[in-house]
Amino acid sequence: MATADLVLVFPARYRVEELDVLPSGIGELDRFWFPGASRDGGRDGLLVEVTPSEGKPWLGTFAFGYDSPRAITAIYSCPNENSLCVISAGLGCIVNVRNPSDWEEVRALPVLDVRAVIERKLLLFSDFTKLSAYGPQGWAWTTARLASDDLRITEVGSEYVRGFGWDAEHGREVEFLIDIETGLQSNAPRC
């Protein structure tokens, strides 16, 4: 099992800890399986204990997504201080820590890169072909397809995101520049 990177760059109204085994006294904690927030079981995954500053602690099992060395396994604080992002082998979920049944799947699959844009209060996710951003109210935008494969973020500023990806149709690498507020592409050719 891969150990998750813990990246708490945004203020958080909870404590979170990755666990290797179920804790003793498991019957005292509510348990959820993601995706789905099922209480009846689910797939194996990353085991996390969450203790909200208001409310009772709970356990989450976040299903493993992809068997790929590029797929991320990490736990991120979110621009909303009551939300938590858990990425388990590329499968990402954003969960309201006070109400784990209130969750959404990250619109990048598999998650290959995550960037926190503190000054814009955004979490930025990439997969092989596009970018998605989440802000304090949740999902903010998803780009159109920027590449056929191998999308890479090379620079994140307060106004834009720059990167490269493979354009299979033309057999070459292409550059993209994305407006960080809107998710719209500018000054770079599309695939």
Three-state SS string over 82-135 comes to CEEEEEECCEEEEEECCCCCCEEECCCCCCCEEEEEHHHCEEEEECCCCEEEEE
Peptide bond into 189 cis (omega under 30): no
Is 50 strand, coil or helix? strand
Is 7 strand, coil or helix? strand
CB 75 within 8 A of CB 56: no
pLDDT at 189: 45
pLDDT at 27: 74
Q: Where exactly are the structural domains of the chain?
A: 5-140, 143-191
Q: Give dist(CA 132, CA 128) in Å, integer.
A: 12
Give the distance from CA 165 to its chain's centroid.
Answer: 20
Q: Give dist(CA 163, CA 100) in Å, integer.
A: 34
Q: What is the number of residues in the chain?
A: 191
Low-confidence spans in the chain with pLDDT less than 70: 1-2, 25-26, 187-191
pLDDT at 42: 92
pLDDT at 2: 61
- For residue range 130-185, list pLDDT tens digits in order: 999 999 999 999 999 999 999 999 999 999 999 999 999 999 999 999 999 999 99
pLDDT at 187: 61
CB 116 within 8 A of CB 158: no
Phi, psi of 130 (to 5 degrees): -150, 175
pLDDT at 190: 45
Place of tokens 């590449």: 147
pLDDT at 191: 45
